[in-house]
């Protein structure tokens, strides 16, 4: 009887989900309420979690609650610690949730809310969550080994080496793009700049407070840091309105880029407790709180989406970035649906904390569903804006012109009415001089978020505070990704160089620390500088490059997972990873082909270089041509690296399936858990 | 009547216990995310009392792991 009621309940959920998805997909003309997107997401995620993840856990991975996890077998009180599943869930979610699911959907909103939303739902349930879950499950079965180690063991040495190179290159591209988003959000914004600048002394103060005054009281210190940051936001208003002071915080994009590079270098080379760790704590504190607030704000306000379901820009002529809805919507959304980067975290700290195997389902699959929900909220924040306002903020000067009249005329000619007065009023409301040409996604998201927050709390008077709170929130945790990423990339480089000359691999040897930090910062700094100097705003060329890189990393993770499934004798279920793998290969390789060879100079790097060479030469022509060729080269190298892994994987599958090679996985031997299953249930 | 009141009290107690459990888990998650639990485990393992010196040692011990802790995009 109970089973029947449960079945009925799930049928109701499926019915509401189908109705919501149909409304989102088929409704045209009148604007729809954002709650349809929320309902569609909640129902799809519930069904995906209840049925698909259970299928993956029981039939594919065959998770066994009786099997001792690395946290039990290798418990050392440091990395390997048996931890409550909800605690690990929070820990894992805090590590995987970054700026990607916020920025990607905002940029993809240029196609309308429909393509991005559908991909977020489908991509997460069938792709991203599966990737995170199986990577976590396989890592738990292998003593918490990293993805590159698993690639080396299961695909071969070439696979391991290529996975290493792919991860390092992708990190560099990712860091360059992250830095560019911060630059675009803070340029010529004394209020935002002051607030973010203040987070550095606040973090240093937190570090000293934590080490000297209240050792170990991190929550208390983070709360104190949060209060100080809120004071900095409040003080930023005074700074922006006081010309003598505001002048020092009104910085050009080039100056900001140099400062961010200096910051990245310092954060990589300074002791971890002084700057990196307190900023990480502060950023996590603000991130978790703000995401919860945004969810509550959307539910309380139930805003209307002003963006149409589909815009004319699905044809590839979009001002935010060029390229058709296929494949560019899919690589632009990136982390909200599938993020290759998650595979690094799912095979990093998390597998060493899981108390029993079966909990990998909640943590791997469930946390990614939450991240995907964040992406849906970002899509809502972008689409509650009037489309004219959205395009005025996100379109680069190179496309719509730098003058307000020219920009609004161009945007209105596309059918999205906006006037200079509208934009001036909005800029004043959020405490900025202008909101035109603020590419990168972060300012548009901040305006959307401020709109939701101010309507829920404080009215228009507080809009400026909310806008700068949102900018601070985004910049803070993008900078956290930047400093943590620079350090991780520096370690990877040191590990590799240590094979050539041992002292270079010593992480305590300062000449090596400084040299490798400088190399990594120079590598991502080059991409940042290129973006800053790009008349099209940089995002047009760099975000797709980041998207391709991120999705290629997911391709690597799915190759490893499929290989393990084949070797486990589970080839009949290999479609669970093979399906997303084929799709991502199709998407990334097509996008890469367009980015390199497309004859449209707004899309193809090489045709853009050709166009520059054919035109009148200026001082910057040679540099721009070099940048285009470099971007094309990086794209080709990334594709080639992943192509090698794909070929190696397919060869390994065929060897195993044809019986030429014994199907043997490199799992840790089975050890029965000492803990009763009931105790953990 | 008294059995009705008793039932209501039992339900209330159960709900309170549930809320306490959820809040406790939330606090544990925050303490784990913010490394407070890791510090406590360190003190227990090393049989030390909380102090500046102990915390400095804990930071030194955990530095390698913290430095390599990636944050996703």
At A515-538, the pLDDT tens digits run 999 999 999 999 999 999 887 778
Tell whether B24 and B43 lie within a shared domain.
no
Say if residue A563's pLDDT is above 50: yes
Tell whether B26 and B40 lie within a shared domain.
no
Tell whether B22 and B42 lie within a shared domain.
no
Count of structural domains within chain B: 2
A455, A303 contact by CB (below 8 A)? yes
Tell whether B39 and B71 lie within a shared domain.
yes
Q: Is B70 touching A (CB cutoff 8 A)?
A: yes
Q: ipTM > 0.90?
A: no
Please, which residues 276-305 of chain A have a Cβ atom closer than 8 Å to chain B? 276-277, 280-281, 284-285
Q: A334 and B73: CB-CB below 8 Å? A: yes
Q: B29 and A89: CB-CB below 8 Å? A: yes
Q: B42 and A77: CB-CB below 8 Å? A: yes
A186 closest CA partner among A100, A258, A129: A258
Report how far residue A258's alpha carbon sits from residue A260's, in angstroms, rounded to the nearest whole number.
Answer: 5
Of residues A83, A219, A342, nearest to B72 (C-beta): A342
Q: B34 and A284: CB-CB below 8 Å? A: yes
CA–CA distances in Å: residue A513 to residues A98, A269, A498: 26, 6, 12
A111, A330 contact by CB (below 8 A)? no
A83: helix, coil or strand?
Answer: strand
Kindly give the interhelix angle for A325-333 and A100-108, rounded to the nearest 10 degrees. Answer: 160
| CB < 8 Å to B65, chain A | 78-79, 349
Mutate to test the interface with B, among A147, A149, A216, A490 (most CBs of B within 10 A): A216
Q: Say which DSSP state A401 is in.
A: -
Most confident of A69-73, A87-91, A146-150, B18-22: A69-73
Tell whether B42 and B71 lie within a shared domain.
yes
Closest residue of chain B to A506, computed from CA coordinates? B64
pLDDT in tens, A39-60: 999 999 999 999 999 999 999 9
Q: A211 and B33: CB-CB below 8 Å? A: no
Domains of chain A: 2-188+251-669 (1.20.1740.10)
Interface size, chain A vs chain B, as Cβ–Cβ contacts under 8 Å: 131
| CB crowding A502-530: b at 16 or more within 10 Å, else e | eebbebeeeebbebbbbebbebbbebbbb
What is the token pair recorded at A546? Answer: 């980041």
A250, A242 contact by CB (below 8 A)? no
What is the token pair recorded at A360? Answer: 């990998």
Residues contacting A65, CB < 8 A, separation 6+: A356, A357, A358, A673, A677, A680
A423 closest CA partner among A415, A412, A414: A412
pTM as predicted: 0.89
Closest residue of chain B to A486, computed from CA coordinates? B70
Tell whether B56 and B40 lie within a shared domain.
yes
A331 closest CA partner among A552, A112, A171: A552
Q: A272 and B67: CB-CB below 8 Å? A: yes
Shortest distance between the Cα of B5 and any Cα of chain A, in A, equals 29
- Give residue A502's Cα distance to chain centre: 34
A367 closest CA partner among A124, A79, A148: A124
Report how far residue A423's alpha carbon sits from residue A391's, in angstroms, rounded to the nearest whole number.
Answer: 11
A340 closest CA partner among A548, A149, A60: A548
Average pLDDT, chain A: 91
Q: Which domain holds residue B3?
A: 1-34
What is the token pair recorded at A102? Answer: 């916020």
Q: Is A488 touching B (CB cutoff 8 A)?
A: yes
Within A538-620, residue ranges assigned H as helices are 539-567, 575-597, 605-614
Listing DSSP states for A294-337 in one string gives: HHHHHHHH-PBP-S-SS-GGGGTT-SSS-S-HHHHHHHHHGGGT
Report how far residue A284's alpha carbon sits from residue A287's, in angstroms, rounded to the nearest whole number.
Answer: 5
What is the token pair recorded at A291? Answer: 């995401």
Shortest distance between the Cα of B11 and any Cα of chain A, in A, equals 22
| CB < 8 Å to A178, chain B | 73
Tell whether B48 and B71 lie within a shared domain.
yes
Tell whether B9 and B39 lie within a shared domain.
no
> In which residue are the tokens 């041992």 written?
A502
Q: Say which DSSP state A256 is in.
A: H
Find residue A67's DSSP bridge partners.
Answer: A672
Residue A681 pLDDT: 43
The pLDDT-based confidence of A680 (bands split at 50, 70, 90) is very low
Q: B69 and A484: CB-CB below 8 Å? A: yes
Tell whether B47 and B66 lie within a shared domain.
yes
Residues contacting A223, CB < 8 A, separation 6+: A285
Shortest distance between the Cα of B10 and any Cα of chain A, in A, equals 24
> In which residue are the tokens 């990712």 written?
A174
Say if residue B27's pLDDT is above 90: no
Say if residue A677's pLDDT is above 60: no
| CB < 8 Å to A281, chain B | 34-35
Q: B31 and A219: CB-CB below 8 Å? A: yes
Tell whether B73 and B41 lie within a shared domain.
yes
Report how far residue A106's alpha carbon sits from residue B16's, in angstroms, rounded to the nearest whole number.
Answer: 41
Residues contacting A56, CB < 8 A, separation 6+: A130, A133, A134, A361, A365, A576
Tell whether B50 and B28 lie within a shared domain.
no
Q: Does residue A495 have a cis peptide bond before it, meaning omega lies within 30 degrees of 0? A: no
A556 closest CA partner among A103, A149, A105, A60: A149
Q: A341 and B73: CB-CB below 8 Å? A: yes
Residue A473 pLDDT: 86
Please, which residues 5-64 of chain B have a Cβ atom closer than 8 Å to chain A? 25, 28-36, 38-42, 44-45, 50-52, 54-56, 58-59, 61-64
Q: Is A89 touching B (CB cutoff 8 A)?
A: yes
Percent with pLDDT over 90 in chain A: 63
Tell whether B39 and B26 lie within a shared domain.
no
Residue B66 pLDDT: 67
Q: Is A96 touching B (CB cutoff 8 A)?
A: yes
Kindly give the interhelix angle for A442-456 and A463-500, rounded to the nearest 10 degrees. Answer: 140
């Amino acid at each position: 009887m109970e089973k029947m009621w449960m079945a009925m309940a799930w049928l109701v959920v499926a019915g509401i989900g189908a109705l919501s998805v149909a409304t989102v997909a088929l409704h045209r003309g009148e604007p729809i309420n954002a709650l349809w997107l929320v309902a569609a997401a909640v129902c799809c995620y519930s069904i995906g979690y209840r049925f698909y993840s259970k299928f993956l856990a029981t039939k594919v991975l065959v998770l066994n609650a009786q099997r001792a996890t690395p946290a039990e077998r290798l418990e050392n009180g440091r990395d390997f610690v048996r931890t409550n599943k909800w605690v690990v869930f929070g820990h894992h979610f805090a590590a995987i949730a970054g700026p990607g699911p916020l920025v990607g959907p905002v940029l993809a909103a240029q196609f309308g809310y429909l393509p991005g939303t559908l991909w977020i739902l489908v991509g997460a349930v069938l792709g991203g969550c599966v990737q995170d879950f199986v990577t976590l499950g396989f890592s738990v079965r292998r003593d918490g080994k990293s993805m590159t180690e698993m690639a080396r063991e299961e695909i071969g040495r070439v696979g391991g080496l290529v996975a290493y190179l792919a991860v390092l290159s992708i990190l560099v591209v990712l860091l360059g793009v992250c830095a560019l988003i911060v630059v675009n959000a803070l340029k010529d914004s004394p209020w935002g700049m002051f607030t973010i600048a203040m987070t550095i002394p606040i973090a240093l103060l937190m570090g000293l407070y934590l080490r000297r005054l209240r050792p170990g009281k991190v929550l208390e210190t983070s709360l104190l840091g949060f209060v100080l940051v809120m004071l900095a936001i409040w003080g930023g208003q005074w700074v922006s309105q006081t010309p003598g002071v505001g002048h020092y915080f009104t910085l050009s994009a080039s100056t900001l880029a140099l400062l961010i590079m200096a910051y990245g270098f310092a954060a990589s080379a300074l002791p971890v407790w002084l700057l990196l760790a307190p900023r990480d704590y502060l950023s996590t504190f603000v991130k978790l709180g703000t995401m919860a607030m945004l969810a509550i704000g959307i539910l309380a306000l139930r805003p209307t989406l002003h963006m149409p379901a589909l815009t004319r820009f699905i044809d590839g002529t979009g001002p935010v970035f060029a390229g058709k809805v296929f494949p560019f919507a899919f690589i632009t959304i990136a982390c909200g649906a599938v993020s290759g980067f998650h595979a690094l975290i799912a095979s990093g700290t998390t597998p060493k904390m899981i108390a029993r195997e079966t909990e990998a389902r909640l943590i791997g699959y469930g946390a990614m569903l939450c991240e995907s929900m964040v992406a849906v909220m970002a899509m809502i924040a972008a689409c509650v804006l009037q489309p004219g306002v959205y395009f005025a903020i996100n379109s680069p000067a190179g496309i719509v012109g730098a003058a307000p009249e020219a920009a609004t005329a161009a945007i209105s000619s596309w059918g999205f009415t906006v006037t200079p007065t509208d934009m001036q009023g909005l800029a004043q409301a959020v405490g900025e001089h202008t909101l035109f040409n603020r590419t990168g996604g972060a300012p548009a998201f901040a305006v959307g978020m401020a709109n939701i927050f101010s309507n829920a709390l404080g009215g228009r008077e507080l809009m400026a505070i909310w806008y700068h709170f949102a900018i601070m929130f985004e910049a803070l945790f993008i900078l956290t990704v930047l400093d943590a990423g620079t350090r991780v990339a520096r370690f990877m480089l040191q590990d590799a160089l240590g094979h050539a000359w041992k002292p270079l691999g010593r992480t305590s040897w300062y000449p090596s620390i400084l040299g490798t930090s400088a190399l990594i910062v120079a590598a991502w700094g080059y991409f940042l500088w290129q973006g800053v100097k790009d008349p099209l705003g940089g995002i047009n060329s760099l975000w797709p490059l980041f998207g391709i890189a991120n999705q290629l990393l997911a391709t690597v993770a799915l190759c490893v997972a499929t290989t393990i499934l084949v070797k486990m004798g589970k080839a009949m279920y290999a479609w669970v990873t093979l399906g997303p793998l084929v799709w991502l290969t199709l998407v990334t390789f097509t996008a890469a082909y367009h980015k390199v060879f497309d004859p449209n100079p707004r899309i193809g790097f090489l045709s853009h270089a050709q166009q520059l060479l054919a035109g009148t030469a200026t001082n910057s022509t040679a540099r721009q041509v070099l940048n285009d060729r470099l971007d094309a080269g990086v794209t080709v190298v990334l594709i080639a690296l992943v192509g090698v892994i794909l070929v190696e994987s397919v060869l390994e599958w065929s060897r195993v399936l044809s019986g030429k090679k014994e199907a043997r996985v490199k799992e840790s031997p089975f050890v029965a858990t000492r803990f009763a299953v009931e105790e953990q249930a | 009547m008294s059995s009705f009141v008793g039932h209501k009290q039992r339900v209330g107690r159960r709900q309170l216990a549930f809320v306490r459990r959820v809040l406790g888990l939330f606090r544990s998650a925050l303490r784990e995310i913010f490394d407070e639990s890791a510090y406590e485990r360190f003190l227990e393992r090393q049989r030390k009392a909380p102090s500046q010196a102990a915390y400095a040692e804990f930071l030194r011990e955990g530095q390698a792991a913290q430095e390599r802790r990636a944050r996703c995009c």
